């Protein structure tokens, strides 16, 4: 116990940022509480800090040496809190300002992936005030049915609709537009849904075991992600031989291309006919709840939840201090 306490003390006073102001506040509080308990169990002087209830500048006044970001979504995963911590000079977990701001924006992520030759589903972008009913009704002709409609900058499947018939387009777009001015309409890839976490930075980054997700009726929505026990998470993933390694390599390539650091989790669809993998998005502040996938994958690799939290905490950095971490 004394050794663990000594390791924990080396981190100094740690703020676990949780809650926040995004639509994912509830999930962030669940993640943050788990991380807080885990860090304390390892002797870390960790404290909860909710940016929705306290001014971020209080981190400096209260003498925090580093931050574990357990915020999800806007104002926590989009480069804003990262920028504030850069100005305060307090090292933090996860990706830096630019990588965070790119990865939260699914359209920007797609543009970067396509520019680098990485596979991602075809898409159409609608911007609030810049489209009419004819534009919406034409999208199934461009992408086929079914298709996915979602806000460009939300996570946890919030505002996501799977459109199976043309008549559902208008309502799906309206639902997404309530949450974001940019609406992403995306080709639906029918097949295996998988996710793959990454730990580390640059050449030291490594992919953890791939998890295959089998949701009720193929509907991996907000409810099935966090509040039901009917979704199956298969790890080992049970994919055909060689596919897991291909996906891990693809995810690492995307991670480095976006210049992510510390940790992240990428979501991938595998076409059931061609077996080609398609990158959907990269989450730079992954969930750490009881249903979350990074702890599940880590456990399959022999890393406990507590050790995972410590490993992530060890990666705290500032943009101007970090070494490497990008694509060559």
Token pair of 284, please?
Answer: 């730079």
Give the closest residue to 282 by CA, choosing from 262, 316, 254. Answer: 254
Q: Are 183 and 126 in contact (CB under 8 A)?
A: yes
Where b means 16+ CB within 10 Å and e means fewer, 14-46 reads bbbbbbbbbbbbbbbbbbbbbbbebbbebbbeb
Token pair of 302, please?
Answer: 């022999």
Give the closest residue to 33 by CA, choosing from 313, 220, 290, 315. Answer: 290
Q: Exposed, middle or buried by CB within 10 Å (0-12, 13-18, 19+), for 11? A: buried
DSSP state of 261: -
The C-alpha atoms of residue 272 and residue 189 are separated, in whole angstroms, by 8
Helix (DSSP H) and strand (DSSP E) numbers for the chain: 12, 13
The C-alpha atoms of residue 277 and residue 270 are separated, in whole angstroms, by 4
Residues with a catalytic annotation lie at: 24, 156, 226, 265, 267, 281, 283, 287
Q: Are 51 and 19 in contact (CB under 8 A)?
A: yes
Within its chain, how far is the Cα of 168 from the centroid? Answer: 28
310's torsion region: left (phi>0), alpha (psi -120 to 50) or beta?
alpha
The C-alpha atoms of residue 175 and residue 173 are separated, in whole angstroms, by 5
DSSP state of 92: B
CA-derived radius of gyration, the chain: 20
């Amino acid at each position: 116990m004394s050794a663990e306490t000594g390791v924990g003390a080396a981190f100094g006073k740690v703020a676990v940022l949780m809650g926040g102001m995004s639509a994912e506040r509830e999930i962030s509080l669940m993640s943050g509480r788990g991380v807080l308990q885990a860090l304390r169990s390892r002797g870390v002087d960790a404290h909860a800090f909710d940016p929705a209830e306290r001014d971020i500048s209080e981190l400096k006044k209260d003498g925090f040496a580093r931050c574990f970001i357990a915020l999800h979504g806007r104002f926590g995963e989009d480069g804003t809190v990262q920028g504030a911590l850069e100005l305060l000079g307090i090292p933090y977990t996860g990706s830096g300002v630019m990588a965070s701001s790119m990865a939260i924006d699914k359209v920007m992520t797609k543009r970067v992936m396509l520019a680098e030759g990485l596979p991602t589903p075809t898409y159409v972008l609608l911007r609030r005030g810049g489209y009419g009913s004819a534009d919406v009704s034409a999208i199934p002709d461009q992408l086929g049915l079914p298709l996915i409609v979602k806000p460009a900058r939300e996570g946890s499947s919030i505002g996501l609709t799977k459109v199976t018939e043309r008549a559902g387009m208008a309502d799906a777009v309206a639902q997404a537009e309530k949450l974001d001015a940019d609406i992403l309409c995306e080709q639906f890839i029918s097949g295996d849904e998988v996710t793959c976490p990454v730990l580390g930075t640059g050449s030291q980054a490594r992919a953890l075991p791939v998890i295959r997700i089998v949701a009720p009726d193929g509907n991996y929505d907000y409810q099935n992600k966090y509040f039901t026990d009917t979704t199956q998470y298969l790890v080992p993933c049970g994919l055909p031989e060689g596919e897991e390694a291909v996906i891990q390599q693809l995810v690492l390539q995307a991670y480095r291309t976006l210049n992510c650091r510390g940790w992240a989790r990428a979501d991938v669809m595998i076409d059931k006919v061609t077996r080609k993998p398609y990158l959907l998005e990269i989450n730079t502040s992954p969930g750490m709840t009881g249903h979350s996938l990074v702890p599940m994958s880590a456990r399959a690799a022999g890393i406990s939840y507590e050790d995972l939290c410590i490993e992530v905490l060890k990666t705290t950095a500032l943009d101007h201090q970090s070494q490497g971490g990008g694509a060559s």
